[in-house]
């Protein structure tokens, strides 16, 4: 499928605004995604306003793409709306737990991916910001998210002002398991990762960062153990504060 197969992340956008009708239309396409028991356990907060964007930027580590995109969409795992409905209808909800959080997160992410595909189908470009889960609490304060909600990802969106090439992926063989999971031997790992390791860009990363291997660039620089542990604890604490850990 052409549209999916040619997807590339866009980090540089034109100044051109996205009109409201188009935004509503791609969000509508999002709502057509599968959702658990048709409960639609998600919301999305649209950020255009300059002040709001300046408030959010540091929590996305001031990535240029987060500052430069005309629109940020923050996708929320949302049990608040559903629970409000239950309460107004004399029903006694029990969704203040981890399973319910994760169920809402699934809903929100399928919704988000549909929105992204609909956006690309309309000539827009997108960039997922993984920083959302790192700073979920601070982002929630800016967006005034209530209990039983949690921001799971943010998408920067706008008209592309660059045309990057397709990025490398490991082969389908490397991620598809028939009937049972077959663990990865050194030989298979060598085969799956050699293409990536031999890219000029990868070799440059290794050299610039004075590392021995590309994997070390990930473990020692980009996604470090200490950071992961720090942000894990932060995320779990905020899940508790939002009412999702009992």
Site residues (CB under 8 A) for a copy of itself, limited to 73-92: 76, 78, 80-82, 84-86, 88-92
Task: Give 14 or 177: the residue with its C-beta nearer to a copy of itself.
Answer: 177
- CA 80 from chain centre, in angstroms, equals 21
CA distances (Å), 59 to each of 132, 149, 154, in order?
8, 18, 11
- CB neighbourhood size of 136 (10 A): 25
Residue keyed to tokens 């660039």: 217
Task: Give 18 or 44: the residue with its C-beta nearer to a copy of itself.
Answer: 44
CB of 151 to a copy of itself, least distance (A): 10
Distance of alpha carbon 72 from alpha carbon 160, whole angstroms: 14
238 binds a copy of itself (CB under 8 A): no
In angstroms and rounded to an integer, the radius of gyration of the C-alpha atoms of the chain is 20
Task: Give 57 or 109: the residue with its C-beta nearer to a copy of itself.
Answer: 109
Distance of alpha carbon 188 from alpha carbon 195, whole angstroms: 12
Q: Which of 123, 16, 128, 115 is nearest to 65 (CA)?
A: 128
CB of 37 to a copy of itself, least distance (A): 6
Task: Give 7 or 12: the residue with its C-beta nearer to a copy of itself.
Answer: 7
94 binds a copy of itself (CB under 8 A): yes
Task: Give 16 or 20: the residue with its C-beta nearer to a copy of itself.
Answer: 20
CB of 45 to a copy of itself, least distance (A): 5
Distance of alpha carbon 163 from alpha carbon 11, whole angstroms: 10
Crossing angle between the packed helical segments 225-241 and 136-143, to the nearest 10 degrees: 40
| Residue 77: strand, helix, or coil | strand
Size of the site for a copy of itself (CB under 8 A): 117
Task: Tell me which residues in 23-42 interact with a copy of itself (CB under 8 A).
Answer: 24, 26-29, 31-34, 36-40, 42
Task: Tell me which residues in 116-175 interact with a copy of itself (CB under 8 A).
Answer: 116-118, 121-122, 126-128, 130, 133-134, 143-146, 149, 152-153, 166-170, 172, 174-175
22 binds a copy of itself (CB under 8 A): no
Quick note: the x/- pattern for a copy of itself over 197-226, rule CB under 8 A, is ---------------xxxxx-xxx-xxxxx
Quick note: the x/- pattern for a copy of itself over 55-74, rule CB under 8 A, is --------------------
Exposure string of 77-108, with b = 16+ CB inside 10 Å and e = fewer, is bbbbbbbeeeeeeeeeeebbeeebbebbbbbb
Task: Tell me which residues in 174-193 interact with a copy of itself (CB under 8 A).
Answer: 174-181, 183-184, 186, 189-190, 192-193
């Amino acid at each position: 499928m052409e549209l999916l197969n040619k997807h590339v992340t866009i980090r540089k956008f034109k100044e051109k605004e996205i009109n409201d009708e188009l935004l509503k239309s791609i969000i509508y396409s999002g709502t057509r995604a599968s959702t658990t028991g048709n409960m639609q356990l998600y919301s999305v907060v649209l950020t255009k306003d300059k002040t709001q964007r300046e408030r959010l930027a540091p929590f996305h580590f001031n990535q240029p793409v987060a500052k430069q995109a005309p629109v940020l969409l923050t996708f929320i795992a949302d049990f608040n709306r559903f629970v409000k409905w239950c309460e107004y209808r004399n029903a006694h909800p029990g969704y203040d737990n981890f399973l319910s959080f994760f169920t809402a997160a699934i809903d929100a992410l399928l919704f988000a991916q549909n929105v992204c595909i609909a956006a690309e189908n309309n000539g827009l470009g997108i960039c997922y910001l993984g920083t959302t889960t790192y700073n979920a609490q601070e982002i929630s304060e800016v967006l005034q998210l209530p209990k039983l909600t949690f921001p799971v990802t943010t998408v920067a969106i706008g008209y592309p002002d660059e045309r990057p090439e397709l990025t490398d992926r490991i082969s389908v063989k490397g991620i598809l398991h028939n009937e049972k999971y077959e663990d990865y031997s050194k030989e298979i790992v060598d085969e799956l990762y050699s293409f990536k390791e031999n890219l000029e860009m990868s070799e440059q990363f290794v050299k610039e960062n004075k590392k021995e291997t590309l994997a070390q660039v990930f473990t020692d620089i980009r996604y470090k153990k200490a950071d992961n542990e720090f942000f894990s604890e932060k995320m779990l604490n905020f899940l508790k504060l939002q009412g999702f850990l009992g």
